[in-house]
Structure 1
Amino acid sequence: MQPFRRTLRSPLQDHDPQPGAGGFAPHVAPKEGAPAKGLQQHPSALNNDALAPLLSILPGLRLMVGLVIAMVVIFGLYVGRNVLLPLALAALLGFLLDPAVSRLKRWGLPRLLSVVLVVMVAVGGVGAGALYVGSQATVLSAELPTYQNTIRQKLRNLKDYFKGPSVFDGAFKVFNTVETEIALPESGKPKPARAQKVEIQEPAAKPLQKAMDVFAKVGEPIATAGIVFLFVILILLDRSDLQDRLLRLMGRNMHMATDALGEAATRIGQYLRMQLFVNLSYGIPMWLGLWVIGVPGAALWGALAAVMRFVPYIGPMISAVFPLTLAFAVDPGWDLFLWTLALILVLELISNNIIEPWLYGSSTGLSTLSIILAATFWTALWGPVGLILSTPLTVCLLVLGRYIPALGFFEILLGSESVFDPPQKLFQRLLGGNVDEAVDVATRRIDEELPAKPTQQDTARALTRFYDGVAIPALKLAAHNYVNQSTAEHRLRLSVGTAELVEELRDHYPPAKPMQTGAPGTEEGKAGQQADAAPLILCVGLRWDIDVQAAAMAAHALQLYGLPAAHDAEALPVFPRDTDLNAWAGLRAVCICSFHPHPQTKLRQLCKRIRQRWPELGIVVALWNTETQVLDPEAIRSIQADYGVRTIDELALRIQVESGNEQLVQQAVKPEIPADEAKRLKALSKSGVLHAAHLEHYREAAIQACNAFQVPWAYVAWVDKDWVYMPGAVFDSADNQLAQSGMARADALASFVIADGAPLVIEDTQRNPRFARNPHVDSLGVRFYAAAPLRYRRGAVLGALCILDRVPREMSADDLKVLESMAEDLMKSLEDSHGTPASLPVSDPARGKAS
């Protein structure tokens, strides 16, 4: 390995510029009742002590108030069900019909006329379906008497069958004998007189009374239907006004209210549409299957099956009773009944296990248990109609819990998503001592990213992504409470568990054989040939146990890349002496890992001692839990270190680039060619994305990206065999030439998106050796880069949607999802449009000018 470049600094200062910034000892508060020495107790402290008993009961009061509010709301829902039920049904139908109204309005019809047409079509369809079903039921009822003999004969056969001898006859006989003996009266006592039954008959109801009873039974559903019909029309007519009122009611945070209302509408509308498709995919095959089998009224039972599936759980069972009963009554044998039963079972299996998961996906976001509990709750509250409305109403509660902090427990209790993200889940398993579950979490995560036949490089990248994305963030969670909240037992579990986790991962993913570091024939090359005997890169922890475990992870990742690395199982001494550092003879670089938020003072003292003992030793500091400015090159040089990294990926790239091994250098800085490159290039040519007709799409996408992420540059990159096209790029005026001409594939950052097939985020290009020497990055002054892949059919990555900035930035997971969503929308718009073949208005120096 070539010597790391050293930068001399001014004489070392013995104190940190920020008071307490580099201290590692926790602050010890004075004992209760003992004021700090030399200080007088502030009067507000006395007030806080007096309020302490009241503050301690606040959580209990808050819980009690919440329970009282919940009871009042539930009581109000039950008492006001006669008013709330029609309103809820109308809102549900409004979600279902509003897309059709909006479509007609976009076609130029007034909203009133659109509402009238949609409602008339809906009512007409329901009425026609009811008339058809009624006519089928009338025909079927006229034919039922002809099946009486068959039914009677089958029942007799079943009765004779159950009367025959069975294995339980002896048990029944003994039970009957015991029951008779218990019921016999005692000898010598007179038998009680036999009671006579008296039947009370009410006088026959008068015709007027009968008419009133019938009207009471029929009138209530008719009145409810009329109210629902009126509410549906009003909701469709005043949709915008109602939406504004709901937004105003939800508070002054317009962003939160808009997102909540939009998500609720999207989820409920998608759920209803998917439910309709699922029901039709069940009812139509039911109709055709019963017709082929020969069950009378097949169309009636198919329609009933489709409608009853709107009622969760109970509806399918009720709809299956009628065709089974009719098949039992029609056929003297059992063939028709068994074929009907087999048809229903097959359709249920296909619908429940294939169609519903495929169509629903994550449309509701509810867990299976929450759907069952919601169905039980709303049925008990509002009856059968509550069962139909249970899922949409529960979706509304889920969305409210997602956007209103006070109702966040709804998202935890009802949502289908995991309540812990992967780092939190791993941290909890390690904290609880469940090492086996932690290993399962890790291996499952790593194996998901590995291809079918992974190479050593694939394994190294997948494990590095796990360490950077899950393991290191889990240790950061531990670092936040390492002193204040963690007990000795917690720290012991975490330390032992993390060590066992790393050891298990080393067994699952063994290190590669170290490559020779240094150029062949040089002193570095000769030293690299002895890599098996003595490692050249040592990873050490600065102070805490979690620092040591992070060093073990870093060493494992470096070994997977073929680098001769090892780690020290103990943290560095607070003030290392030369005798402590003598064991580092022969090392080329040392990586110091730290989770402390302010390690500058300690690192400055440590690096000074290392420089005095080993002046040519390369020093890399891995600061997992500090602010971005601490990793600035000037700040790193001020503590006499060579480089600062924030991820294991940056560390591996830095060591590879500085190794002096050309193979390792090319492996780090040169993007790989995908295994399916020929198919990808064929898809690029076939897709038509290089047509000039799409230029405006690319320009709009770049402008939207600039506005959404507040960056000065954005562009769409299409990666060809040797060239990257950048049509419609939004650049500063001085960079228009680059935007018009594109660049060679070897220099394009988008080439790494093609190689990995995944989003790419570079928070600071100067810290990443892969891009620090890129000529375009240097000329443009790019410090931040993020890109989302543009996927064609069957997942082929043709290019990337890229954003750039002149200053380092951090990108959250939610922002990255937005960028990926924009890339997906762009590809959908390109696939929906059909441009004519033409050359792009860019020039390729290797191919000449394009027209």
Structure 2
Amino acid sequence: MVNDGETLNLERALSGTNNLGNAAAGVPNGSGSLAGKTLSGRTILTLVGVAVVLYVGQEVFVPLALALLLTFTLAPIVSFLRKRYVPRIAAVLLAVTGAFLVIVAFGFIAAGQVANLAENIPTYQRNIVAKVNALSKAGSGNGVLEHLSKVVERIGSEMQDTAEESKQNQSGPDPVPVEIITRANPVQTLGNFILPLIRPFATAGLVIVLVIFMLLEREELRDRFIRLVGLGDLHRTTTALQDAGTRLGKYLLMQLMVNTLYALPISIGLWMLGIPNAILWGLLTLVLRFVPYIGPVIGMILPLFLALAIAPGWSLVAWVASLFIVTELISNNVVEPWLYGSHTGLSPFAIIVSAIFWSWLWGPVGLMLSTPLTVCLMVLGRYVPQFSFLDVLFGNEPVLQPQEKLYQRLLAGDPNEATDNAEDFLEDEYLINYYEKVGLPALLLGELDRQRGVMTEAQIAVFASTSQVLIGNLADIAIEEESEDEDVEAAIQSQLDLETNLPDGEGKTVLCVGGRGAIDDAAASMISQILAVQGASVSQADHSALSGKNLNASSLSEIDTVLLVFLNAGSKAHARQSVRRLKRLKPTLRVGIVMPSLDSQRAAPISADEIDADFIASNITEAVRDALIVVEAVVVKPITRRVVKRRQRRSGAPKPNDVVV
């Protein structure tokens, strides 16, 4: 028996509540929205074949991928110039020339800084040796630290020997120059000098040419792609191209802007701290931040090592580490959400896996291109049904509907995670919203699987008992809603449509009974909790009470309404007999049937007149409203029978005991 509570109109909970069918639309069975998103053997073979082709032909595909991504990056700039009445060819040449000048300048600055660093490395050995010795002394007495200190000490001794050898060489006599003359073919010498330079310059030239032609023929290439793969569905193909272009262009440009805003304070901070080659480390962090997660860490290691080498103490190392940590926190929590937020649509796990895969496939270039390429695959999976599994694997959107996720947790016997998810949902919604949109649809999924025979008796028992535990865990929330402030209640009621008003449950007693099984009992418990929030006095019985001997007129004497919950739509005969039995025990009793379905468009399988019920409800809202209104009970119609009268025997007819001679 649920204790009576203060009067609380349930209409506040109906704000934004869809009916049961809308909550579960598109979920015809337990498979849910994942239908058609599984991997077939042919698809797996296709993916393996594509990976092999990409690995073997990387000399062709890497420049093509670089050109494609640069085209996506420069396309907004070209469009901007075209809107300012710059001719197409001039706009493309300006954008490409500016981009590659920036890249060349970046390369020259980085090369000069690396050369300067290489010249100064021998001067840092003394500080490194001193810190290694300090770490060796600190590690004595601890097993793990002692083992590590031996390794560090060995490295320090080698560096010290190298430093002493360099001093001896500097103080010794001048070495005698030795010149080795070899006779070589001039053509061979020229080839050995030029050939190593041809490949990178040829790749760069090929990328430049591809970018120019892709930007000039952008519309033509788009039309050819549509004709090749999407002529049968122009809307979907156009949407996919727009989505891919928007995501990649925005990601690359915004990432470049974020990396620049990250590298600028790093360079200035390192320069103020006295770290040599501060410009080099700033440029390095700008590039490495294109590598997800591990890029910023790699960019921080080298400046930290340099701070360790140039200063005798540890304070400079702490300042450099603090500079990187503070800048990273500001970039992640302020700059990135301000500029683009969730820009790629990829899950964090997908970003890490893609970085591993593309770096294995194409090396460092693949690591830099991993996120943009995976975005293309995710967009492909979002709009091409044959590759929809890619969206499931890489996308950051939930792959299970809330009711499907709850059903899976209940079936696994995990009420704790189910309760956590419910509490997250209830932060912005009311309890009836959760039961209408998530709880009852999850029970319906379980009932459908039970009818299909895919659930064992043990699974049914675990599913039903876990559901009851979840409902019990949400009892505190029901009590909070029942005792909510009247001013808050009035404010919420004023915003609702009058048609959604529910009757007050004060002074009304309702009995909720499961129809045929333990899953029906769980649904009855949900409705009981909502009725208690409404202020009614609620009692509950399981499905066995309908056929037991304890059900009599005295047990129903104080009950106004009985709700029978059937999740199985084929329970017409059972519902009819239950209604008639209850009304024979108490003719003034109102008996309602709750028979929800996942399909909101489907009509109720039975009508109230057919089974002499007072009402038929298809969701929790209707059940609560009909159970609490004050109307007279429906009278059970008498059963019409055709009685055949026995015929009178004729006088001459023999009786059964007569002996016929």
**Structure 1 position 552 matched with structure 2 position 525:** yes
Match of 2:457 among 485, 488, 496: 488
Change (3 A) 1:613 1:123: same
Superposition map of 1:762-777 within 5 A? none
Tell me if 1:505 matches 2:474: yes
| Amino acid paired to 2:286 | A
**Does residue 47 of structure 2 align to residue 75 of structure 1?**
no
Residue 450 of structure 2 aligns to a residue whose secondary structure is coil
Give 1:519-598 correspondences, 5 Å limit. Answer: 531=507, 536-570=509-543, 573=546, 583-598=555-570
Match of 1:151 in 2: 124
TM-superposed deviation, 1:554: 0.4
1:266 corresponds to which letter in structure 2?
Answer: T
Structure 2 length-normalised TM: 0.71
CA 149–614 in structure 1, closer or farther in 2 if over 3 Å, else same: closer
**Contact 1:548–1:571 (8 Å) recurs in 2:** no
Judged with a 3 Å threshold, the aligned counterparts in structure 2 of structure 1 residues 224 and 421 are, in CA distance, closer, same or farther, namely same
Check if 1:89 corresponds to 2:98. Answer: no
Does the 8 Å contact 1:150/1:332 carry over to 2?
no
Alignment of structure 1 residues 655-674 onto 2, 5 Å: 655=627, 658=630
1:395 Cα deviation after fit: 2.0
Cα distance change, pair 208–325 in 1 and its aligned pair in 2 (3 A): farther
2:505, 2:129 → 1: CA distance?
Answer: 93
Amino acid at match of 2:566: S
Q: Which amino acid aligns with 1:435?
A: P
Q: 1:618 and 1:270 mapped to 2: Cα distance?
A: 62
Report what 1:621 is aligned to.
593
CA contact (8 A) 2:512 2:538 kept: yes
Q: Separation in 1 of the partners of 2:576 and 2:129?
A: 97
Q: Separation in 2 of the partners of 1:76 and 1:626?
A: 46
Alignment correspondent of 1:237? 216
Query: What SS class does the counterpart of residue 345 from structure 2 fall into?
Result: coil
Work out whether 1:115 is the aligned partner of 2:87. no
Whole-Å separation in 2 of the counterparts to 1:169 and 1:209: 60
Distance in 2, Cα, partners of 1:475 & 1:324: 57
| Conservation of the 8 A alpha-carbon contact between 2:406 and 2:439 | yes
Q: Note closer, same or farther for the CA distance 1:127–1:658 as it changes in structure 2 (3 Å cut).
A: farther
Note the residue ranges of structure 2 that are not aligned, 5 or more in a row. Answer: 1-38, 152-179, 485-503, 633-661
Shift of 1:513: 7.8
Aligned partner of 1:310 in structure 2 is 290
**After alignment, is 411-420 or 428-437 more displaced?**
411-420
1:520 paired residue number: none
Q: Would you say the 8 A contact 2:419–2:473 is kept in 1?
A: yes
Residue correspondences, number:
541
- Matched with 2:374 is 394
Instruction: State yes or no: 1:280 paired with 2:249.
Output: no
Secondary structure in structure 2 of the residue aligned to 1:449: coil
- CA deviations on 1:31-58 (whole Å, 9 max, x unpaired) are xxxxxxxxxxxxxxxxxxxxxxxxxxxx
Following the alignment from structure 2 to structure 1, what is the Cα–Cα distance between the partners of residues 602 and 556? 27
Aligned partners of 2:206, 2:377: CA distance in 1, in Å?
A: 25
Q: Check if 1:479 corresponds to 2:459.
A: no
* In structure 1, distance between residues paired with 2:394 and 2:619: 35
- CA distance in 2 between counterparts of 1:443 and 1:335 reads 46
Letter in structure 2 aligned against 1:474: A
Write out aligned runs for 1:794-813 (5 A).
none
Paired residues of 1:495 and 1:546 also in contact (CA < 8 A) = yes
Structure 2 residue corresponding to 1:376, chosen from 353, 356, 375: 356
1:333-344, aligned counterparts within 5 Å?
Answer: 335-344=315-324
Q: Distance in 2 between matches of 1:238 and 1:323?
A: 44
Picking from 192, 203, 209, the partner of 1:213 is: 192
Q: Name which of 219, 223, 226 aligns with 2:202.
A: 223
- State yes or no: 1:436 paired with 2:416: yes
The equivalent residue for 1:666 is none
* Corresponding letter in the other structure for 2:245: A
Aligned residues of 1:301 and 1:319 also touching (Cα < 8 A): yes
Q: Is the 8 A contact 1:542 1:572 kept in 2?
A: no
Deviation at 1:594, TM superposition (A): 2.0
Larger RCO (CA under 8 A, 6+ residues apart): 2
Moved more, 483-492 or 124-133: 124-133
8 Å Cα contact 2:267-2:279 kept in structure 1: yes
Q: Which amino acid aligns with 2:360?
A: A
Task: Give secondary structure in 2 for the equivalent of 1:510.
Answer: helix
- Identity percentage of aligned residues: 36
How high is the TM-score relative to the length of structure 1? 0.56
| 3-state SS, counterpart of residue 451 of structure 2 | coil
Q: Deviation string for 1:112-151 (max 9, x for gaps)?
A: 443233223323433454555566667x56xx76x57852
* Alignment partners' CA distance in 1, 2:181 and 2:362: 33
> Counterparts of 1:581 and 1:331 in 2: how far apart (Å)?
92
CA contact (8 A) 2:128 2:308 kept: no
For residue 594 of structure 2, what is the amino acid of its counterpart?
A
Within 1, Cα distance between the matches of 2:553 and 2:244? Answer: 62
8 Å Cα contact 1:536/1:589 also seen in 2 = yes
Match of 2:494 in 1: none
Unaligned runs of 5+ residues in structure 1 are: 1-61, 177-200, 451-461, 515-526, 661-851
CA distance in 1: counterparts of 2:325 and 2:585, whole angstroms: 78
Structure 1 residues 482, 231: closer, same or farther in 2, change over 3 A?
same
